[in-house]
Each structure stands twice: as C-alpha cells, then as structure tokens.
Copies of this chain bind each other. A is one copy, B any other.
Amino acid sequence: MLIGQEIYNLCSKMFPYCRSITGDGVRQTLQSLREIVPEITVHEIPSGTNAFDWTVPKEWRIRDAWIKNSSGEKILDYNKHNLHVVGYSTPVDKTVDLAELKQYIYTQPDQPDAIPYVTSYYKGRFGFCMTQEQYDALPEDTYHIFIDSKLFDGSLTYGELIIPGESNKEVLISTYMCHPSMANNELSGPAVSVYLAKWLLSLTNRHYTYRFVYVPETIGSLTYMSQGDNLEKMKANVIAGWNLSCVGDDRTYSYVRTRYGNTLTDIITKNVLQFIYPKYKEYSFLKRGSDERQYNAPGIDLPVCGFCRSKFGEYPEYHTSKDDMGLISPAGLQGAYDVMQQCILVLESNKKYQIQCLGEPQLGKRGLYPTISQKGSYDEVTAMLDFIAYADGKNDLIEISNIIGVPVNEIIPIAEKLIAANLLKVVE
C-alpha cells in the first residue's frame, strides 16, 4: 500500500483547489501532477475556439463569495468550502430579503446535511449551495449576498503526456479535473493516473505507446480531440483506453462498457477484474457519464471503457460535500492502481503461443510433474496442462486465461518455463 499512500497524499494536497472547467484551479492541479511527472505538458486553448459542435467557454475566475446576515455575520463563506458557490456564478453584490435569497440557494433535500455540487456553465446565473438543514433554519432577515467572480476571454487548460513504446499503437488513459473540493470525484482519477504514468516511465521496455490526457470533463475531451491532428492520430492508433473516474473508495470495482461492449478494452478489463474482484459491477454503456461518452461517440469510436471503484452516480456521497478525503483511502486508490497496472501488463504480454510437440509433453522427465500418482496429487500441474491444451496457436493469453480460469499473471511464468524447456513458442 505504499503507492496507495503516496496517491492519497497527492489527493490531500490538491483537495482545496477550486477547480472548474477553466481557471486557476485546473492550473494548480496540473502543476501538482507535474511535480510527480514533469513530462506532462500544459496546453492553453483560447475561449471561443471551436471544439467540434462546441466552443471553448469564457474562463471563470472567483476570488471570494459569502452571505452575511443583518448583523454582518458570514452565514456562508466560499473560503470555508468552495462548493458553497454555484460553478461559473456571475458576480453579485446586493441586499435581499429571505424570500429572494432562497431563489438563489440550492440544497440536496434527500441528503439534508450535505452541500450539493451545482454548476451552470452555459447560462449566466449566480447561486449559492448550502445544506438543507441550514436552509430550513434561515431566519427572516436582510441578507447581503456577494460573489467576486469574473467571466472573461481566457483559456481552457489541459495536460498531455505521450510515453513512447516500440509500437506506435497507443493506449489512452484519460481523466478529468474540473470538480472543486471533492475527493473520489475527482481527485482520485488524476492522482492514480499520474502514478501509472510514473510507473510506465520507469519501465525499460514498453511495447505500446501511452497517451495520458488530463482535461476538464466533456468540453475538455472534446477540445483535446479537436486540436491539431489529435483525433486523427487517436483513431489510427488507439487500441485500448480507459477513462478513470471515482477510483478512490474501496467498496467495489466497476466498469462501464464501450458502446457495443466488444472491444479489446472490454475484454482486458473483464479478464482482469474477474480474478481480482469477481463481484465487480459491469455497467451498460447506457450508464455512461464521464468522458467515455465522448470517446465512444459515433464518428469518434475509440475503444475506451470507464473504470471506477464505486461508479459516479451510484454512491450516496456523489456530487456533494460528503465526497471528501474520508471517503477515499490509500487502499482504495491502490486497488484501482493495481487493476490498471494489471490491465496494462495483460495488454503488453498478450501473445499467442503454440506447443511444440504432438500429444501432451512428458513433463515428468523435465521435473514438471509429480513422480508418484495417487488421487489428489495432480492439482499443482493442472494450470500447466490446461495452458498446454489451449496453447494451440489460435488463442491469445487473455483467451486462454478466460478458458482455463487462471489469471494472465499466473500463466506468464508457466509459459516462461515451457519456453525454457523448448516446449513452447510464440506465434507471430
């Protein structure tokens, strides 16, 4: 759990930043990621730039926001929790009575002690968020409401990292960083992603090229793909990809299928999860919600699954102030890191093998089989014999793993033993 603790510490550091789809919160977050992996490049795309059917919006900058009662006490303070302000709020500075105040306040009535996360990116409005409990207790009074924010022609910020491999075929790891102080959704995604990048950079050999993308959700992935020849290259090269979201709690593992659920990414993800956590949750593409939406859209058609611990929208703390640093844990983050690492290892090692003799080989003379035969003495070689039975040159490692019910990472050492004994060859 050493890596898990490091990832958790990074989340803690980035938690207070007030992220949105543009602005300094995104830049601070990217800067923290670059302290782990300096190779990440930062890109600024001007407001007004086209991104397929969309347009990069104005940049949002917020300095302060509060509500004071008639005694001048701050009853709500942006500096105490940045969820108190509706994302992309326009500025305001006026005095209102209780009835008017309530028009600007959003609560989560079914979770009365939680501040909800509310945004209004594409229509100018302002608003405050508080708990239902606070809302219900507001007395008749005169209130001063104040938001010091600004919407201006600035830019949308994203990060990119290409880690080259022997092949120009690519694996895409995408995650997002546009939510303010919430932990699972979303600090977990960028934090796990950057440690995966660090690990991949440390490897001496990589077959595939790895493309890491750090964007604001939706507008960010669309903007990223529409820049230069990004989409063209991705369509030509991406053979598998994952969108990381909500990968920090430790309640379950979840996977959101690609549009038709039939890509290499689906195959790998299911293969890995069935051994690590057989009760994992598999969601139809109809339950998508993060950037797998854009990567799988018609005409884009990239083989990108969603990967989560507890999936967005499926856990009660989602999109509220309850999604805090107590919800995620080093163990939860480590689990997600391990699954993604296994997925990458499976992909890197996924070859076809062919046994080199007719009939079963005589494992005994090579010390690979027990010399005495009695009921119950065969189990230790079952995996080897089962692997041999399906190493007929037609199946790749994932297919064999699925057939014989043994994880790929347990088959690899078996294959190595058989190669060393000249009993097995890789099929090109």
Contact = CB atoms under 8 A, between A and B. Distances in A.
B360 A294 contact: yes
Interface stretch (A115-123, A189-197, A329-337, A408-416): A115-123
Given A404-B286, A405-B286, A297 B360 contact: yes
B119 A372 contact: yes
Interface string A183-227: 000000000000000000000000000000000001001100110
Given A297-B355, A298-B391, 15 more contacts: A52-B358, A53-B359, A53-B362, A54-B359, A119-B372, A119-B373, A120-B371, A122-B364, A123-B364, A123-B371, A259-B389, A285-B389, A297-B358, A299-B357, A319-B375
Nearest to A355: B298
A225 to B, nearest CB: 7
A293 interface: yes
Nearest to A87: B373
A331 B54 CA distance: 50
A52 B356 CA distance: 10
A81 B264 CA distance: 58
A218 B393 CA distance: 23
21 contacts: A52-B357, A53-B357, A117-B374, A118-B374, A122-B362, A123-B371, A125-B372, A259-B389, A286-B386, A286-B404, A293-B385, A294-B360, A297-B359, A297-B389, A298-B391, A299-B355, A299-B357, A299-B392, A300-B358, A300-B359, A318-B375
A361 interface: yes
Q: A interface, how many residues as a size bin?
A: 35 or more
A365 interface: yes
Interface of A: 51-55, 86, 106, 108, 116-123, 125, 218, 221-222, 225-226, 231, 259, 285-286, 288, 293-294, 296-301, 313, 318-320, 354-355, 357-362, 364-365, 371-375, 385-386, 388-393, 403-405, 423
Contact of A313 (B293, B375, B392, B393): B375
A298 B354 contact: yes
A174 B176 CA distance: 58
Nearest to A374: B118
A80 B81 CA distance: 86
Nearest to A221: B359
Nearest to A361: B53
Given A359-B297, A359-B300, A360-B294, A118 B372 contact: yes
Interface centre among A226, A298, A358, A372 (most CB of B within 10 A): A298
Contact of A371 (B122, B293, B391, B393): B122
Nearest to A223: B359
Contacts of A55: 362
A296 B385 CA distance: 12
Nearest to A389: B259
Nearest to A222: B359
A119 B374 CA distance: 7
Contacts of A385: 293
A367 to B, nearest CB: 10
Contacts of A393: 298
Nearest to A382: B286
A225 B360 CA distance: 12
B298 A392 contact: yes
A53 B362 CA distance: 6
Nearest to A107: B374
Nearest to A299: B358
A420 to B, nearest CB: 16
Nearest to A54: B362
A406 to B, nearest CB: 10
B259 A390 contact: yes
Identify the interface centre among A231, A362, A391: most chain B CB within 10 Å of its CB: A362
